[in-house]
Chain A
Amino acid sequence: MAVISIERMGLLSVVCVSLFFSSTFAVDRGNFKTCDQSAFCKRQRALKPGQSPYRALLETLELSDSRLTLQLINDNNKVHLLLELYRLQGNMTRVKINELKPLKPRFEVPDVLIAEPPTEPLSVLSKDDNGVVLSLGAENQRLIVSARPFRLDIMEGPEVLLSLNSRGLLAFEHLRLHKDTQAQADGAEVKESVDGDQQQDEGKKDEDGESEKEEDGLWEETFKSHTDTKPNGPTSISLDFSLPGVEHVYGIPEHADDLKLKTTDGGDPYRLYNLDVFQYELYNPMALYGSIPVMLAHNTQRTMGIFWLNAAETWVDISSNTAGKTVFGKMLDFVQGSSEKPQTDVRWISESGIIDVFIMLGPKPSKVFSQYASLTGTQSFPPLASLGYHQCRWNYNDQEDVKSVDQGFDQHDIPYDFIWLDIEHADGKRYFTWDPHKFPQPKEMLQGLMDKRRKMVSIVDPHIRVDSGYKIHNEITSKDFYVKNKDGKNYEGWCWPGNSGYPDFTKPEMRAWWASMFAYDQYEGSMENLFTWNDMNEPSVFNGPEVTMHKDALHGKWEHRDIHNIYGLYVQMATAEGQIQRSGGVERPFVLTRAFFAGSQRYGAVWTGDNAAEWDHLKISIPMCLSLGLVGVSFCGADVGGFFKNPSTELLVRWYQTGAYQPFFRAHAHLDTTRREPWLFGPENTALIREVIRQRYALLPYWYQLFYQAHKTGMPVMRPLWVDYPKDTATFTIDDEFLIGSDLLVHPVTEEGSRGVTAYLPGAEEVWYDVHTFQKHNGAQNLYIPVTLSSIPVFQRGGSIIPRKDRVRRSSTCMENDPYTLYVALSPKKFAEGELYIDDGHSFNYDTKKEFIHRSLTFANNALTSSNLCPDCNFLTSSWIEKVLILGASKPSKVLLKMDGKETPVDFEFDTSMSVLTLRKPGMNAGADWTLLLQYQRYFQC
Chain B
Amino acid sequence: MTCLHLLLTLVFAVSLGTPVEIQRPRGVPLTKKQFYEESKPFTCLDGSRTIPFDRVNDDYCDCKDGSDEPGTAACPNGSFHCTNAGYRPMFIPSSRINDGICGKMTLHLDISPQQCSMHGMVLHLKFFLCTDCCDTTDEYNSGAKCENTCKELGRKEREVLQKMAEITKEGFLLKQQLIEEAKKGQQEKQSKVTDMQENKKQLDEKVEALRTVKETAEQPEKEAKERHLKAWEEQKAAIRLEKDKAKMAETFLELDDNADGFVSVSELQSHAELDPDADGTLTEIEAQGLMGGAEQVDTSTFESVWPKIKDKYHSESQAEEPAPVETPPDEVKEPVVDNDSEPYPEDDISEEEDEDDEDEDDYHEDDDKAQPTIKTPEKTHEDEEAMPPYDADTQALIDAAQKARDDFEEAEKALREMDDQIRNIEKELSFDFGPDAEFTYLYSQCYELTTSEYIYRLCPFNRVSQKPKYGGSETNLGTWGSWSGPENNKYLLMKYEQGTGCWQGPNRSTTVKLTCGKETVVTSTSEPSRCEYLMEFTTPAVCQEPANIDPSPHDHVEL
Contact = CB atoms under 8 A, between A and B. Distances in A.
A688 B56 CA distance: 30
Contacts of B528: 397, 401, 675
A2 B100 contact: no
B191 interface: no
Contact of B74 (A23, A694, A807): A807
B96 A810 contact: yes
A301 to B, nearest CB: 48
Interface in B62-80: 73-74, 76
Interface string B83-113: 0000000000101101111101000101110
A407 B73 CA distance: 20
Interface string A810-847: 10011011110000000000000000000000000000
Please report whether the interface of chain A is mostly helix, strand, loop or mixed according to DSSP: loop
A463 B466 CA distance: 32
B76 A806 contact: yes
Interface in A786-804: none
Given A397-B526, A401-B526, A818-B73, A921 B60 contact: yes
A7 B527 CA distance: 16
A882 B69 CA distance: 14
Contact of A807 (B95, B108, B452): B95
B95 A413 contact: yes
B527 A814 contact: no
Interface in A215-243: none
Given A21-B504, A673-B530, A807 B73 contact: yes
A392 to B, nearest CB: 15
Contacts of A674: 529-530, 532
A4 B452 CA distance: 12
A920 interface: yes
Contact of A672 (B73, B74, B142, B530): B530
Interface residues of B, number: 39
A124 to B, nearest CB: 65
B74 to A, nearest CB: 7
B502 interface: yes
A400 to B, nearest CB: 7
B111 A407 contact: yes
Q: Give the interface centre of A2, A4, A453 by most chain B CB atoms within 10 Å.
A: A2
Nearest to B58: A921
A817 B530 contact: no
A3 B111 contact: no
A883 B59 CA distance: 11
B452 A437 contact: yes
A2 B110 contact: no
Q: Give the interface centre of B93, B104, B528 by most chain A CB atoms within 10 Å.
A: B528
Interface in B440-470: 452-453, 466, 468
Q: Give the interface centre of B100, B115, B452 by most chain A CB atoms within 10 Å.
A: B100
Contact of B505 (A413, A452, A672): A672
A675 B76 CA distance: 28
B101 A810 contact: yes
B344 interface: no
Contacts of A920: 60
B95 A2 contact: no
A869 interface: no
Contacts of A814: 99-101
Nearest to A671: B530
B78 to A, nearest CB: 10
A580 B28 CA distance: 46
A210 to B, nearest CB: 50
Contact of B131 (A2, A7, A410, A694): A410
B530 A411 contact: no
Contacts of A411: 111-112, 115
B111 A809 contact: no
B99 A407 contact: no
A404 interface: yes
Contacts of A816: 100
A808 interface: yes
A1 interface: yes
Contact of B76 (A401, A807, A817): A807
B167 interface: no
A674 B509 CA distance: 12
Nearest to B115: A411
B363 interface: no
Nearest to A454: B101
A817 B529 contact: no
Given A808-B95, A817-B142, A2 B505 contact: yes
A6 B504 CA distance: 12
Q: Give the interface centre of A3, A401, A672, A817 by most chain B CB atoms within 10 Å.
A: A3
Contacts of B96: 810
Interface in B511-541: 526-532
Q: Give the interface centre of B101, B104, B453, B532 by most chain A CB atoms within 10 Å.
A: B101
A214 interface: no
A809 B75 CA distance: 11
B283 interface: no
Nearest to A920: B60
A737 to B, nearest CB: 28
A538 B403 CA distance: 84
Interface in A905-930: 920-921
Q: Give the interface centre of A410, A437, A671, A674 by most chain B CB atoms within 10 Å.
A: A410
B311 to A, nearest CB: 67
Contacts of B99: 453, 809-810, 814
A808 B115 CA distance: 17
B421 interface: no
Contact of A810 (B76, B95, B142, B505): B95
A887 B59 CA distance: 23
B475 interface: yes
B498 to A, nearest CB: 16
Interface in A444-493: 451-453
A882 B60 CA distance: 7
A23 B504 CA distance: 8
Q: Give the interface centre of A1, A407, A806 by most chain B CB atoms within 10 Å.
A: A1
Nearest to A411: B115
A192 to B, nearest CB: 52
B329 to A, nearest CB: 50
Nearest to A394: B530
A912 B60 CA distance: 22
A817 B98 contact: yes
Interface in A686-725: 694
Contacts of B102: 451
B526 A400 contact: yes
Nearest to A674: B529
Nearest to B75: A807
A671 to B, nearest CB: 6
Given A400-B526, A810-B101, A921-B60, A2 B108 contact: no
A93 B240 CA distance: 120
7 contacts: A2-B502, A397-B527, A411-B111, A672-B502, A674-B532, A813-B100, A921-B58
Given A810-B99, A921-B60, 4 more contacts: A1-B527, A21-B504, A407-B131, A816-B100
Per CB-CB distance, the 4 closest pairs between chain A and chain B, nearest first, are A814-B99, A675-B529, A921-B60, A808-B95
Interface of A: 1-4, 6-7, 21, 23, 397-398, 400-401, 404, 407, 410-411, 413, 437, 451-453, 671-675, 694, 806-810, 813-814, 816-819, 882-883, 920-921
